[in-house]
């Protein structure tokens, strides 16, 4: 029996700021990613309000997809992709974010990328905003804390929805919108750069601005959904969250409540707004706990109600545990929480938990009953080129195999899952650490953290493995 439905979308995912490079080509303006230096797991990347002479900024060249996209999309097609999730760099279309007219050269670049996908029968799945806010909107307006960004975002959406009508079907509004529930999302998701912030891992936090910024994104997302539906009845728009599976550290009731609360805050707060069209009943508690007061303008709740998404997409990498005991909190991976004694972790400390993906799928489908897409998943690892040129990434194959098995189980549990686009199908710059050493791809790119490398592409062992997976619609793992 074939578990994955006919027409299941198999592919991969990237984001413009992490792979395109060409940061000043074709009239592109600076984005917030362009002012982040390189870093590593132990050395946080820095955010520099002005570009520094002689400092390495990984997004400036990234893996140069700006000049290699034809070759890259051809390789995706060779693996059998029928979907490719990528983002449009807002600053290619509106270099300063507040420009009156879109930049024709930027629009043309994505005309060509989309056409290249369609030529290979690959469905584009486009993230509208993926950690790449035009920097001018941070500098001059303070990022999403400023309500004016809703209008700027709508100008951008109008330009791309009109331009790519008839060619694109699937859109995602904000990448990992719930990242802004934590302080790291203040800069990355909302473009809020508070005075005193020196590096990415130690941002000065202002919860009032963060929650207000999120509210503005909710309104913007809802407006975008409505606009997309008005402009093209074939358009389907999804939200995009990080799903963080959270287990109680022990069976102590207080730990169970702590885990439930973490689920509410992280997994449901944003999703309820975007899928159910209303703030959840626990929202007031979240605001009180964070000591914030949201300014909700007349009509905002109506807009949110009328702009619910067509499907949910999410990233899933790891799970974590939560304890009611503050002494046990905060020692774990990027999601905070506490390490799970039953799980192994990647070299970056992300705990590997395929069951957590099955849990996520069942949980989201039970709660929301809309189609789901897993639009990010994968293992960031150090890959080695052997003397014969091969790259034997069996660890990556093992990770993906187990997660696909978990998706199969979830489908048999009744979940309506439509797509799987593993992250960084081609090696790219890490979002959290700003390094190349943390690789996710089926395709290796010769680019390194000292800035060297000629961007040559090589197939890893996982390339042929994934090709078989797709060809067998998920049966040959």
Q: Which distant-in-sequence residues (6+ apart) come within 8 Å of 246 by Cβ? A: 259, 262, 263, 266, 267, 319, 320, 321, 322, 335, 337
315 binds ligand BG6 (CB under 6 A): yes
Q: Is 432 among the residues that bind ligand BG6 (CB under 6 A)?
A: yes
Q: Which is nearer to ligand BG6, 142 or 434 (CB)?
A: 434
Please identify which of the residues 176, 195, 254, 446 carries the catalytic annotation.
Answer: 176
Binding string to ligand BG6 for residues 23 to 62, with x set by CB under 6 A, is what? ----------------------------------------
Report the C-alpha gap between 214 and 218 in whole angstroms: 6
CA-based torsion, 449, 450, 455, 457: positive or negative: negative
3-state secondary structure 321-366: EECCCHHHCCCCCCCCCECCCCCCECCCCCECCHHHHHHHHHHHHH
Q: Are 391 and 461 in contact (CB under 8 A)?
A: yes
Measured from the CB atom, is 103 or 245 closer to ligand BG6? Answer: 245
**Half-sphere exposure of residue 136, counting CA atoms within 13 Å on the CB side?**
14
Compare residues 354 and 380 and give the one whose CB is closer to ligand BG6.
380
59 and 38 Cβ atoms separated by less than 8 Å: no
Please state the closest distance from residue 2 (CB atom) to ligand BG6, in A.
30
Residue 176 interacts with ligand BG6 (CB under 6 A): yes or no? yes
**To 10 degrees, the CA torsion angle through 297, 298, 304, 307?**
-120
Among residues 58, 125, 126, 14, which one has the least CA distance to residue 424? Answer: 14
Stretch that binds ligand BG6, among 103-111, 161-169, 219-227, 426-434 (CB under 6 A): 426-434
User: Catalytic pick from 20, 116, 376, 435?
Assistant: 376
Q: Residue 52 forms beta bridges with which residues?
A: none
Rounded to a whole number of angstroms, the minimum distance from the CB of residue 150 to ligand BG6 is 22
Q: Are 382 and 392 in contact (CB under 8 A)?
A: no
Pairing of strands 443-445, 457-459: antiparallel
Instruction: List the one residue from 93, 430, 445, 466 that touches ligand BG6 (CB under 6 A).
Output: 430
Q: Closest residue (Cβ) to ligand BG6?
A: 432
The pattern of x and - marking residues 65 through 84 that bind ligand BG6 according to CB under 6 A reads --------------------
Is residue 431 near ligand BG6 by the rule CB under 6 A?
A: yes
Pick out residues in 98-157 that bind ligand BG6 (CB under 6 A): 131
- Residues, the chain: 477
Q: Where in 364-423 is the site for ligand BG6 (CB under 6 A)?
A: 376, 380, 423
We find the least distance from the C-beta atom of residue 96 to ligand BG6, in angstroms, to be 23
Which residues, 437 to 476, sit near ligand BG6 by CB under 6 A? 438
Distance separating alpha carbons of residues 461 and 390, to the nearest angstrom: 7
Residue 231 · residue 165 · CB < 8 Å: yes
Separation of alpha carbons 301 and 285, rounded Å: 18
Cβ–Cβ under 8 Å, residues 26 and 437: no
CB of 423 to ligand BG6, least distance (A): 5
Residue 243 sits in the site that holds ligand BG6 (CB under 6 A): no
What minimum distance in Å lies between the beta carbon of 179 and ligand BG6?
A: 7
Annotated catalytic residue 376 = yes
Pick from 82, 91, 175, 203 the residue near ligand BG6 by CB under 6 A. Answer: 175
Residues forming the site for ligand BG6 (CB under 6 A): 15, 18, 131, 175-176, 315, 376, 380, 423, 430-433, 438
Show which residues are catalytic: 176, 376
């Amino acid at each position: 029996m074939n578990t994955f439905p006919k027409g299941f979308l198999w592919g991969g995912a990237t984001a413009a700021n992490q792979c395109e490079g060409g940061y000043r080509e074709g009239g592109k303006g600076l984005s917030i990613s362009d002012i982040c230096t390189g870093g590593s797991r132990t050395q946080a990347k820095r955010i520099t309000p002005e570009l520094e002479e002689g400092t390495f900024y990984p997004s400036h060249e990234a893996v140069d997809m700006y000049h290699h996209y034809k070759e890259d999309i051809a390789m995706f097609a060779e693996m059998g992709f029928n979907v490719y999730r990528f983002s449009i760099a807002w600053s290619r279309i509106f270099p300063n974010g507040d420009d009156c007219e879109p930049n024709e050269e930027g629009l043309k670049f994505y005309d060509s990328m989309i056409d290249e996908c369609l030529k290979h029968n690959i469905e584009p799945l486009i993230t509208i905003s993926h950690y790449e806010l035009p920097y001018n909107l941070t500098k001059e307006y303070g990022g999403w804390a400023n309500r004016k960004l809703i209008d700027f975002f709508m100008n951008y959406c109008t330009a791309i929805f009109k331009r790519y009508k008839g060619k694109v079907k699937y859109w995602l509004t904000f990448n990992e919108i719930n990242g802004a529930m934590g302080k790291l999302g203040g800069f990355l998701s909302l473009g809020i750069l508070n005075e005193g912030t020196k590096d990415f891992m130690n941002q000065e936090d202002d919860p009032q601005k963060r929650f207000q910024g999120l509210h503005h994104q909710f309104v913007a997302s809802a407006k975008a959904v409505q606009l997309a539906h008005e402009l093209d009845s074939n358009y389907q728009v999804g939200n995009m969250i990080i799903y963080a599976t959270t287990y109680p550290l022990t069976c102590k009731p207080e730990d169970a409540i702590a885990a439930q609360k973490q689920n509410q805050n992280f997994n449901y707060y944003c999703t309820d707004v975007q899928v159910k069209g209303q703030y959840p009943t626990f929202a007031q508690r979240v605001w009180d706990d964070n000591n914030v007061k949201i300014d909700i303008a007349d009509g905002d709740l109506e807009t949110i109600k009328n702009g619910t998404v067509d499907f949910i997409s999410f990233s899933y990498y790891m799970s974590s545990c939560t304890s009611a005991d503050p002494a046990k909190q905060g020692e774990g991976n990027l999601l905070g929480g506490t390490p799970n004694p039953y799980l192994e972790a990647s070299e970056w400390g992300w705990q590997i938990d395929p069951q957590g993906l099955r849990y996520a799928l069942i949980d989201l489908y039970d709660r929301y009953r809309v189609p789901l897409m897993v639009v990010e998943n994968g293992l960031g690892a150090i890959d080695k080129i052997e003397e014969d040129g091969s790259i034997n990434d069996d660890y990556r194959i093992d990770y993906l195999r187990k997660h696909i098995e978990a998706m199969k189980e979830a489908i048999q549990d009744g979940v309506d899952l439509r797509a799987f686009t593993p992250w960084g199908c081609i090696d790219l710059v890490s979002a959290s650490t700003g390094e190349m050493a943390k690789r996710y791809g089926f395709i290796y790119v010769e680019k390194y953290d000292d800035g060297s490398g000629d961007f040559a592409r090589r197939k890893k062992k996982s390339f042929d493995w994934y090709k078989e997976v797709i060809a067998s619609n998920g049966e040959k793992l």
